[in-house]
Chains A and B, each alone.
Chain A
Amino acid sequence: MIKLCRVDHRLLHGQVAFSWCHALGADAILVASDAAASDPIRMKTMRLAKPVGMKLVIKSIDDSVAAIKSGVTDKYKLLVVTGSVADGARLVEECGIPSLNLGGTEKTEQTTKSLGIAVHVTDQEREILRGLVEKGVEVEVRQVAKDKKAVLSAADL
């Protein structure tokens, strides 16, 4: 089952690996990212830094959706990490995941709203997230597992 589906532009890094895996009791991590799945150096670094005893699978978004839908991930307590709001929304919608965690997105010239200190979204992303909220998906902001879950309403976006 999917314990958490997280948007974090840094994908798998210490904070995610240690804080979230322990808090969720996860035994596998799926990094769902077209960029990471085509970058051998990035994949190598993530494989080296993953927590001991944790399964780490890195796939493109298409392959990630296919894997989750096929049922091969069902037996794992899975943490899904993806790099962008658009990718996160696609995973949530296509795989029927009830909740999306916003953990970190970079502040850029295009971002127009901050949803907490580490989460910055563009107008287009705000629209995507509003769409999710209207469909009944829980959209929540938390950097680390111990933070209080801040669930967003359409008005917050």
Chain B
Amino acid sequence: MARIVLASHGRLADGMRNTLSFILGDLPNVSTICAYVDQDVSLRSQIDQTFAKFSPEDVVVVVTDIFGGSVNNEFMGLLGEKDFILVAGMNMPMLVELVSEDAPTVEGIQRVVDRGKQSILVCNGLVSGEAEEF
């Protein structure tokens, strides 16, 4: 099955998951890693604990808060070691689409990311489409 891991500095990942389940309902396949909340727990151990729950057939997509941040850097370092798709720069429209993907592939996730980017908009002066008919 598809497994989605949201990972952030602090509690953003939990917050994202909370809002996602408000929109989409129960999300048993979405896990979160909130890094550096507990000083005694290393990010690496949080990652290992999360991946330990998955089975080899699972397709894992990790979404981190910011490219170049230490959370994403940690996952970058694991790309050769574990099999997962890594996306940096989580935003809500992208996650809504991502959670709806049944069998994620790198190409499919690229499309999800592109649509997510299109949903970041300055709303002042937006022009809506024409009225549609059947």
Contact = CB atoms under 8 A, between A and B. Distances in A.
Contact of B24 (A18, A55, A57, A73): A18
A56 interface: yes
Contacts, number: 48
Nearest to B119: A52
Interface residues of B, number: 17
B132 A147 contact: no
A18 B115 CA distance: 13
Dominant SS among interface residues on chain B: loop
Given A57-B132, A58-B131, A73-B134, A48 B126 contact: yes
Interface in B18-47: 22-26
Given A18-B100, A47-B129, A52-B115, A67 B26 contact: no
B133 interface: yes
Interface centre among B97, B133, B134 (most CB of A within 10 A): B134
Contacts of B97: 18
A70 B100 CA distance: 34
B55 interface: no
B124 interface: no
Given A44-B128, A57-B133, A73-B134, A22 B25 contact: no
A15 B20 CA distance: 10
A25 to B, nearest CB: 11
Interface of A: 14-15, 18-19, 22, 28, 43-45, 47-48, 52, 55-58, 67, 72-73, 76, 143-147
Given A72-B134, A145-B25, 8 more contacts: A14-B23, A18-B96, A19-B23, A19-B25, A43-B131, A48-B129, A57-B132, A144-B24
Interface of B: 22-26, 96-97, 100, 115, 118, 126, 128-129, 131-134
